[in-house]
Amino acid sequence: MSSNLKIIPLGGSGEIGKNCTAVIQGEDMLIVDVGLSFPNEEMPGVDIVIPDFTYILENKKLLKGIVLTHAHEDHIGALSYLLRDVKCPVYATEFTMAMIKMKMDEKMDIRSVDFRQINFRDKIKAGSLEFEIIRVTHSIPESGAVAINTEHGYVVFTGDFKLDFTPVDGKLTDIARLTELGTEGVLVLLSDSTNVERPGWGPSEKSVADGLRAAISQAKGRVLLTTFASNVHRMQQAFDVAHELGRKVAVAGRRMEQTLDLCERLKYLKVPKNVRIKLDDARNLQDDQVVILTTGSQGEPMAALSQMSREEYSRLRIREGDTILYSARPIPGNEAAIWRTVNRLFRMGAEVIYEGKTPVHCSGHAYQEELKMMVNITRPFYLAPVHGEPRHQHIYKNMAMDMGYPEHRIFTMADGLPLEFDENKGWLGEPVTCGRVLVDNGGSAGGVDDEVLRDRLSVANDGIIIPVIAVDVERGAIIGQPSLDAKGFSGSEEVLREAAEVMCDALDQLKPNDIKSVDHVKHTAADAVRKFVHRKTKMRPLVVPAIVEV
Ligand SMILES: [Zn+2]
Ligand SMILES: [Zn+2]
């Protein structure tokens, strides 16, 4: 009698970010990816968002391993947080593993982690489950799909992928193995659906070289190119094109330098001889002999390009004649920060190129025809689009139905909702504990809870009101006239004066015994002020009473 199979997304289904999925068969659990996402504007002071690991911790005993598809933050960024509480083998291929170690080294003692470097196509046992990583093309080297052999057939995660037939490193998607899986029997394909809205085939990463060549050859002065520190193939092309046009390349940005060093060492990047120079040496060259690769494509406040735009980067100043190439697409939510940076750069006299006739960027995710091809070669019985928001999942479903899939064989997964299978059918089961944990670096390990977040939003939106009340706790009496102080509150003086009166009225109702409790006084004052201000102005400032005990 075979056991039921459960696939439980704890992040990354119905959203783009913090990918993390548990696959459970009997007494064995395997986790695929442990990623993070970035906060939106409703999360002030939050640095990163990670999945709620409660379900994994509650089923810790079953955990046989963690497998990582590729080294993007939305797939590996929360690993160090999970590994604080669980111990199990962590599997990845060479490049992904090296990147994980580099990043985790800053956060924890990595010698305590049971890292197991594996090769593509290696078959690895994790209890009764057996899995392998299969090469796919994407915007970071050595990306993989994961195929898990279960009692009901293969569960295949495409991972993030595109079908690039002219990849920069020449390493093609392993279509042969994916096709073989199709023949052996794929139960369900969990497919990337990020770019399902885009018809046709996406351009090859190699096509970006033309855009870079056009832009760099037209530039009169220095060229600064910004992209993700992990986009090694993009940087490879920048080195090659710069070399071809007689320019040297320097790097500004710690993360990018680290990544390039690692890639050169492991031979994932081939820098033409004598092309890479130190940033400080760029000064000794003519402007039209220089290309500078830099971080900051997403407007991250502390990244090199953002600092340059604020004249805070001492090693390099932007000046008239500089050309800045944005070789990256904005991650939704970052647009405002990016445009602020772009505007400042224009104001400094630079030419900023973010969209052109010849593109200087292309996506790492499959377009519609590529997604169809993946279905066609793996021939899964069931489909489940992930790595997408509900609209992407919806469009994917329509696409699959056009391909002849009946609706009941396509699952719209959501975080915390198990997709279950027995011998005869698949269904969406009862939800498990799932959610997000907001991490405030430097804050407590438990994350920022909803109340803290609400308070931050209240202050950010409507300011803060401070009732100042002197209390004789021994006698149980209010001393003098309580008053209101306000910061960042845009209501009128009139409202504050009335609110103070309402508060005094409420405090007058208190009996001496009530007043002996400072909390009771605080609560009464805050409640009165909060309600009055909201009724009068519809605003919700944070109200924090200050009690002076005399
Ligand atoms: Zn991703
Ligand atoms: Zn990715």
Residue 42 has what pLDDT? 77
Helix (H) or strand (E) holding 469: strand 464-472
Distance, in Å, from the CA atom of 236 to the CA atom of 288, rounded to the nearest integer, reads 20
3-state secondary structure of 518: helix
Residue 140's nearest CA partner among 49, 74, 191 is 74
- Residue 104 CA to residue 495 CA, distance in Å, equals 52
* Token representation of residue 198: 């885009």
Statement to judge: residues 388 and 279 lie in one domain: no
Q: What CATH number is attached to the domain comprising 544?
A: 3.10.20.580
Q: Is the pLDDT of residue 356 over 60?
A: yes
Predicted confidence at residue 8, as pLDDT, reads: 98
The C-alpha atoms of residue 77 and residue 72 are separated, in whole angstroms, by: 7
The reported pLDDT for the residue numbered 132 is 98
Average pLDDT over residues 107-111: 87
From the CA of 231, the nearest ligand is: 2
Q: CA 343 to CA 341: how far, in whole Å?
A: 5
Is there a single domain that holds both residue 318 and residue 400?
no
User: Would 444 be classed as within a structural domain?
Assistant: no
Q: Residue 363: is its pLDDT beyond 80?
A: yes
How far is ligand 1, taken at its centre, from the CA of residue 33, in Å? 10
**479 and 500 assigned to the same domain:** yes
Give percent of the chain with pLDDT exceeding 90: 78
Going by C-alpha positions, the residue among 406, 402, 414 that lies closest to residue 381 is 406
Answer whether residue 450 is part of any domain: no
What is the whole-number distance in angstroms between the Cα of residue 160 and the centre of ligand 2? 5
Q: Mean pLDDT across the chain, nearest whole number?
A: 93
Count structural domains, the chain. 3
C-alpha 50 to ligand 1 mean position (Å): 14
423 closest CA partner among 104, 187, 159, 100 = 187
- The pLDDT score that the predictor gives to residue 458 is 80
Q: How far is CA 274 from CA 91, 277, 532, in A?
A: 36, 7, 70
> 126 with 213, same domain?
no
Residue of 157, 150, 149 lying closest to 33 (CA atoms) = 157
Q: In sequence order, what DSSP letters do the residues of 326-383 get, joined into one string? A: E-SPPPTT-HHHHHHHHHHHHHTT-EEESS-SS-S---SS--HHHHHHHHHHH--SEE
- Cβ-proximal residues to 396 (8 Å cutoff; 6+ apart), any chain: 191, 193, 196, 371, 383, 385, 388, 410
Q: Where is mean pLDDT largest: 38-47, 140-149, 431-440?
A: 140-149
What domain range is 482 assigned to? 459-549
**How do residues 414-472 score in pLDDT, each as one tens digit?**
999 999 999 999 999 999 999 988 887 765 556 777 777 778 778 878 889 999 899 89
d(CA 40, CA 516): 43
Q: What DSSP character marks residue 37?
A: B
- Indicate if 258 and 338 belong to the same structural domain: yes
Is residue 321 domain-shared with residue 405, that is, in the same domain?
Answer: no
> What are the residue numbers of the active site?
192, 365
The answer to whether residue 65 sits within a structural domain is yes
Binned at pLDDT 50, 70 and 90, residue 265 comes out as very high
Q: How much distance in Å is there from the Cα of 377 to the middle of ligand 2? A: 21
Would residue 123 count as lying in a domain? yes
